[in-house]
Chain A
């Protein structure tokens, strides 16, 4: 187009995808007698095959062999990404040698292989409390064997799957807690994507009843603020995971005796900087790294010569258990080093997850 002498920028050129929609939508509309909506909640996908297109790409493979790797799982070597890469690499003159511009009309029609109908996903958000010290967030299965009964996500999603009549779900939350940690206070924000739901219209009343049904079914978890949200809401929730603070309550044991005076100074420490190497307990599945985290405030509650409770407000992503026992000295400083004793954590509770999403619902 540069040769035509027109002052065009890349954005001025209509995308092939758009042009296709402008042509096809009215034709489909007329043929089927319904309006065509590109953003509808009901999706009909049709897969077409056209082997001649693969043939057309063949010259790219000889021109840029390193762009195309033999694919094990893919059907064709000419994936969208690989073709785009090759098109960026090939010089215009070389391209024109092998391929006419504009392209010639195809000689054969494409074949429709399959038609699939899908309902667009809907998103349900809320906050959950976890009262059990024996419940994983996601199912705990090793070598096909379930190690612990049920999970937070299953207890919540079971009811939603049934009501929304969905095929499957994707559970995500603003952070996680260990199996043996309770989540108290306002609870942790979560969002569930219900895939291919057959029913999507629910009134606020019905959502409330759904929430009650979930809460009546288990004493291990409780949910609140259950509501329908948009897909963009997930972004807000994940923001919370990285940026917002959390508060905890830890029951700590020490080897050598402590008196009230020995732990009082913890209350005065503000913005304590920690260097935490990846904890040994997760090192098998996480890269080795050092993370810098802040403990904003602490408040101690003396119990006896070997026990005290510590309330802490920390930066997102802080490993609390490792801050208490030190993880072989790989988290510095730690409660042990601060008190000059050996310390261990007996119990941990999440007191709050300081994210103000999803919106609180009036009861």
Chain B
């Protein structure tokens, strides 16, 4: 199945200790709210199309920081997780399961290239290590 579930990465600042989420906003511009995404039928017509840099939502934490979460995947937006609107803690407690952000379905022709463009768990950890060692 080519379905992609977008979640917060392990190393995201919001998942580090001490941060409390104040607000999650799916209204990313004057004309576009991810909450208004409506899909119909098997081919998910009417879905908002996302590019890698398309913002999904903006999350503000209680210490005044604001984070924009990007899609990183090209494809049709199927649904955004409304459960985290009513229960923001879910995003931090269960980021990889119930606290997911969105579900995206890439185009059939692009699904293979999308999967190949992702990092494996190992590759991700290597990136994090390099980042930390160059920062210190």
Residues of A near B39 (CB, < 8 A) are: 287-288
Whole-angstrom CA separation of A325 from B79 in the bound complex: 19
The smallest C-beta distance from A12 to any residue of chain B, in angstroms, reads 43
Residues of B near A285 (CB, < 8 A) are: 42
Contact A329 B97 (CB under 8 A): yes
Whole-angstrom CA separation of A284 from B90 in the bound complex: 26
Q: Which residue of A lies closest to B90 (CB)?
A: A329
Contact B79 A288 (CB under 8 A): yes
Residues on B lying within 8 angstroms of A by beta carbon are: 1-3, 5, 39-42, 44, 78-79, 81, 83, 90, 94, 97-98, 100, 103, 105
Binds B, one of A16-24, A162-170, A275-283, A349-357: A275-283
Whole-angstrom CA separation of A277 from B98 in the bound complex: 13
Whole-angstrom CA separation of A288 from B81 in the bound complex: 14
Contact A287 B100 (CB under 8 A): no
Can you list 29 A-B contacts (CB < 8 A)?
A280-B1, A280-B5, A280-B103, A281-B3, A282-B1, A283-B1, A283-B3, A283-B105, A284-B3, A284-B105, A285-B42, A286-B42, A287-B39, A287-B41, A287-B42, A288-B39, A288-B44, A288-B79, A326-B97, A326-B98, A328-B5, A328-B97, A328-B100, A329-B81, A329-B83, A329-B94, A329-B97, A329-B98, A329-B100
**CB-CB nearest 6 A-B residue pairs:** A329-B98, A284-B1, A283-B3, A280-B3, A284-B2, A287-B41
Whole-angstrom CA separation of A328 from B94 in the bound complex: 9
Quick one: CB contact mask for A319-363 with B, threshold 8 Å, 1 for yes?
Answer: 000000010110000000000001000000000000000000000
The smallest C-beta distance from A88 to any residue of chain B, in angstroms, reads 28
Whole-angstrom CA separation of A283 from B102 in the bound complex: 13
Query: 11 new A-B pairs (CB below 8 Å) besides A283-B1, A329-B98, A342-B97?
Result: A280-B3, A281-B1, A281-B3, A283-B3, A283-B103, A283-B105, A287-B39, A287-B44, A288-B44, A328-B98, A329-B83
- Tell me whether chain A's interface is mostly helix, strand or loop, or mixed: loop
The smallest C-beta distance from B86 to any residue of chain A, in angstroms, reads 11
Residues of A near B41 (CB, < 8 A) are: 287
Whole-angstrom CA separation of A281 from B1 in the bound complex: 6
What is the size category of the interface that chain A forms with chain B?
Answer: 10 to 19
Q: Which residue of B lies closest to A281 (CB)?
A: B1
Whole-angstrom CA separation of A331 from B78 in the bound complex: 16
Q: Which residue of A lies closest to B98 (CB)?
A: A329
Q: Which of A116-139 contact B (CB under 8 A)?
A: none
Residues of B near A342 (CB, < 8 A) are: 97
Q: Which of B3, B94, B98, B103 has the most CB of A within 10 A?
A: B98
The smallest C-beta distance from B102 to any residue of chain A, in angstroms, reads 11
Whole-angstrom CA separation of A287 from B39 in the bound complex: 8
Whole-angstrom CA separation of A329 from B82 in the bound complex: 11
Which of A280, A286, A287, A329 makes the CB contact (< 8 A) with B40? A287
Whole-angstrom CA separation of A287 from B103 in the bound complex: 13
Contact B78 A283 (CB under 8 A): yes
Whole-angstrom CA separation of A361 from B77 in the bound complex: 52
Whole-angstrom CA separation of A303 from B104 in the bound complex: 38
Whole-angstrom CA separation of A280 from B2 in the bound complex: 9
Q: Which residue of B lies closest to A288 (CB)?
A: B39
The smallest C-beta distance from A274 to any residue of chain B, in angstroms, reads 16
Residues of B near A329 (CB, < 8 A) are: 81, 83, 90, 94, 97-98, 100
Q: Which residue of B lies closest to A337 (CB)?
A: B98
The smallest C-beta distance from A122 to any residue of chain B, in angstroms, reads 33
The smallest C-beta distance from B82 to any residue of chain A, in angstroms, reads 10
Residues of B near A283 (CB, < 8 A) are: 1, 3, 78, 103, 105
Residues of A near B100 (CB, < 8 A) are: 328-329
Q: Which residue of B lies closest to A325 (CB)?
A: B97
Q: Which of A271-310 contact B (CB under 8 A)?
A: 277, 280-288
